[in-house]
């Protein structure tokens, strides 16, 4: 693993696939021009809209999104995390909430279907029932092993509230953990940063958290603050509240230093 720049992209995705892909391409280009080699997009980056519209367009969204990600990886010669997007599940009328990791050759390195679905009555009056349209994944997320970029673990949004998933990634050797999200504005203000810092600190790993921000559609408001956090819990970059990028160095020497100074993973009693 070498030192390199990573970018967490922040978007305001809307119910229009092609507008979202154009916005994503613009921000990927911005990240690459600043030197990023590893780029992450947020949850639902290629479509955020009503559930019925997501389902009716799911096949087109899945197909065009995967083609787009391979094209971006090849054009810019980067490794890219495709935040998340819907992939139809045969004979269910539902989709998987899916993230993929693509290398600079356009080859898929890893894929993960979100296991924790957001079925919550938020105190601001909004109700979310992700399970009404999404099939939960049944496999723990993978860790992709890379000589250049370190060992990369995958997760999606609501997963961040379940530390056992991240301990699994840590046990599998993760150095960098992706948390692409579309965190609600209401919960984000209290929990987003704290949860991400906790996952970084307890697993002594870098956390890269691309995010949705602003008013995506209707009453759907997202928190923003895409961040990159180091293994000590230090926020290295924060994209704020507008579309843009958080970019920071992933440094193996820092990773080794923190793990040496705070060897908590070696001190575990229960597993």
Domain boundaries, the chain: 4-267
Give the per-residue pLDDT at 120: 93
Q: What is the pLDDT of residue 124?
A: 80
Residues facing 127 on adjacent strands:
121
Catalytic residue among 43, 54, 70, 94: 43
Q: Is 114 one of the catalytic residues? A: yes
Radius of gyration of the chain from its Cα atoms, rounded to whole angstroms: 17
| Pairing verdict, β 176-178 and 152-153 | parallel
Tell me: pLDDT of 157 over 90: yes
Evaluate whether 153 touches 176 at the Cβ level (below 8 Å). yes
Angstrom distance (rounded) from CA 170 to CA 102:
21
DSSP string, 136-177: PP-SPPPEE--TTT--EE---GGGGG-HHHHHHHHHTT-SEE
User: Which among 36, 33, 50 is positioned nearest to 86, based on CA atoms?
Assistant: 50
**Of 37, 70, 94, 157, catalytic:** 157
pTM for the whole thing? 0.97
Percent of the chain with pLDDT over 90: 95
The second-level CATH assignment, the architecture, of 4-267 is 4-Layer Sandwich (3.60)
Has 130 been annotated as catalytic? no
pLDDT digits (tens, 9 = 90+) for 195-239: 999 999 999 999 999 999 999 999 899 999 999 999 999 999 999
Residues 60-84: pLDDT tens digits? 999 999 999 999 999 999 999 999 9
């Amino acid at each position: 693993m070498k030192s390199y720049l990573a970018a967490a992209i922040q978007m305001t995705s809307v119910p229009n696939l092609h507008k979202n892909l154009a916005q994503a391409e613009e921000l990927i280009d911005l990240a690459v021009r600043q030197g990023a080699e590893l780029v992450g997009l947020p949850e639902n980056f290629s479509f955020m809209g009503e559930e019925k519209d997501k389902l009716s367009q799911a096949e087109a969204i899945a197909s065009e999104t995967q083609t787009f990600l391979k094209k971006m990886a090849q054009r810019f010669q980067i490794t890219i995390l495709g935040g998340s997007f819907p992939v139809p599940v045969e004979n269910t009328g539902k989709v998987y909430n899916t993230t993929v990791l693509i290398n600079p050759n356009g080859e898929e390195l890893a894929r993960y279907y979100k296991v924790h679905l957001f079925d919550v009555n938020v105190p601001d009056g909004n109700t979310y029932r992700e399970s009404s349209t999404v099939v939960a994944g049944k496999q723990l997320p993978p860790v992709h092993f890379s000589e250049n970029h370190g060992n990369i673990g995958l997760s999606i949004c609501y997963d961040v509230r379940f530390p056992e998933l991240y301990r699994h990634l840590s046990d599998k050797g993760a150095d960098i953990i992706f948390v692409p999200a579309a965190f609600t504005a209401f919960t984000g203000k209290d929990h987003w940063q704290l949860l991400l810092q906790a996952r970084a600190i307890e697993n002594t790993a870098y956390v890269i958290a691309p995010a949705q921000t602003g008013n995506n559609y209707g009453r759907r408001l997202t928190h923003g603050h895409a961040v990159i956090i180091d293994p000590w819990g230090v926020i290295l970059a924060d994209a704020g509240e507008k579309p843009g990028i958080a970019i920071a160095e992933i440094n193996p020497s820092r990773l080794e230093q923190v793990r040496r100074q705070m060897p908590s993973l070696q001190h575990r009693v229960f597993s």
